[in-house]
Amino acid sequence: MNELLKIKEDALSQIEACPDLKVLNDLRVHFLGKKGPIQEAMKSMKTMAPEERAAFGQVSNEVKQAITAAIDEAKVKLEAAAINQKLAEEVIDITLPSFHVHEGTKHPLTMIEEEMEELFLGMGYQIAEGPEVELDHFNFELLNLPKDHPARDMQDTFYIDENTVMRTHTSPVQARTLLSAKGKGPIKIICPGKTYRKDDDDATHSHQFTQCEGLVIDENITMADLKGTLQVFADKIFGEGREIRFRPSFFPFTEPSVEVDISCFSCGGKGCSICKQTGWIEILGAGMVNPKVLDMCGFDSKKYQGFAFGIGLERVAMLKYGIDDIRHFYSSDLRFLNQFNRKDS
Ligand code: PHE
């Protein structure tokens, strides 16, 4: 018994003086473990008389409980101390000045592209994509521009090889979309993307530029649908109250084809330098999808018809933001780019 009480005293004083959680765990293993002094002392129970054994058993249990309780209590204290110490070591001085983070701005073309996407998604269109390195087959042939067709001269083309081009417009995505729909309408897509032409770069020409194609196919589509759609586009992008004017034009893949003008958003039609005194600004090419294209791409042109349009996004951005040189879009000049920081523009 005395032995047990001595063990208890010894344990409690060591626990009391214990400096950290690791030593405390060692003490727990030592005093309460199978090879510990209590267990050792209990070996002598075998030779005791029954009453003595019961009393001894009781005391040894009490000693174990006392040690366990002391360890639990010390553990709570040491854990709290460890957290406090960690907090003190990792204290952050929130009064220090922070680093200056330079916030990037969106490229004006990205802004126009996103505006277009939002507008047309809202009208139930989907966004389609196609490759920039395109087969002649999609860029020309399926759009009713066979190899020796004179209208190919309208678009000076970068050829990769005899059958492969850098796409000269986003219209090949019309052919791709029609083919993958396997003759079943309706279709409503836009496709914004990069396009390439062998132009000499100047203030209004760039060998690489951006278009946004639109294609709608269904059973009762008319030119009035095209006009209404472009009216929404003009009002949304250039401000309410724009007028739209169709002028006859020619594209092999649309019939009839039109060149579309909007009334000048700057002078309201009176005539100014932006509209070159005409009151009108040419903004895009469009038309009713040529039945030949529908047939070549697996659509029954007796049942289906539709419209298509192609908008030059640089031109839209130049008009909208008053940019005077297309090369600004591609020169990465921060003095130019940083002007488009306004959240409202
Ligand atoms: N792809 C034509 C161009 O780049 C524009 C266009 C698209 C015209 C769709 C009609 C219909 O000039």
| CB of 315 shorter than 6 A to ligand 1 | no
**What is the enclosing helix (H) or strand (E) of 284?**
strand 280-289
Q: pTM higher than 0.75 for the full model?
A: no
How far is CA 243 from each of CA 39, 64, 235, 261, 266, rounded to the nearest angstrom? 99, 94, 9, 8, 13
Distance CA 209, CA 22 (A): 68
User: What is the model's pLDDT at position 344?
Assistant: 45
User: What is the model's pLDDT at position 308?
Assistant: 98
Find out whether 192 and 215 touch, Cβ atoms under 8 Å. no
Give the rounded distance of the alpha carbon of 246 from its chain centre.
36
Substitution site in 153, 156, 169, 283 for ligand 1 pocket (most atoms within 8 Å of beta carbon): 169
Measuring CA to CA, which residue among 178, 177, 155 is closest to residue 167? Answer: 155
Model confidence at 342, pLDDT cuts 50, 70, 90, reads low
| CB of 310 shorter than 6 A to ligand 1 | yes
pLDDT of residue 47 exceeding 90, the answer is: no
- What number is the average pLDDT over the span 87-96? 90
- What number is the average pLDDT over the span 15-42? 90
Domain boundaries of the chain, sorted by first residue: 2-89, 108-340
Ligand 1 center–CA 209 separation, angstroms: 14
Ligand 1 center–CA 91 separation, angstroms: 63
Per residue in 131-161, pLDDT (tens digit) is: 999 999 999 999 999 998 887 877 789 999 9
pLDDT of residue 66 exceeding 60, the answer is: yes
pLDDT of residue 213 exceeding 50, the answer is: yes
Substitution site in 171, 176, 294, 309 for ligand 1 pocket (most atoms within 8 Å of beta carbon): 171
Per residue in 281-293, pLDDT (tens digit) is: 899 999 999 999 9
Model confidence at 118, pLDDT cuts 50, 70, 90, reads very high
Per residue in 238-292, pLDDT (tens digit) is: 989 889 999 999 999 999 999 999 998 888 889 888 888 999 989 999 999 999 9
Per residue in 168-210, pLDDT (tens digit) is: 999 999 999 999 999 998 999 999 999 999 989 998 889 999 9
What is the CATH T-level fold of the domain 108-340, as seen in this structure?
BirA Bifunctional Protein; domain 2 (3.30.930)
What is the percentage of the chain residues whose pLDDT exceeds 70?
99
pLDDT of residue 164 exceeding 80, the answer is: yes
Ligand 1 center–CA 109 separation, angstroms: 19
- What torsion do the CA atoms of 24, 26, 28, 32 make, to the nearest 10 degrees? -160
| CB of 308 shorter than 6 A to ligand 1 | yes
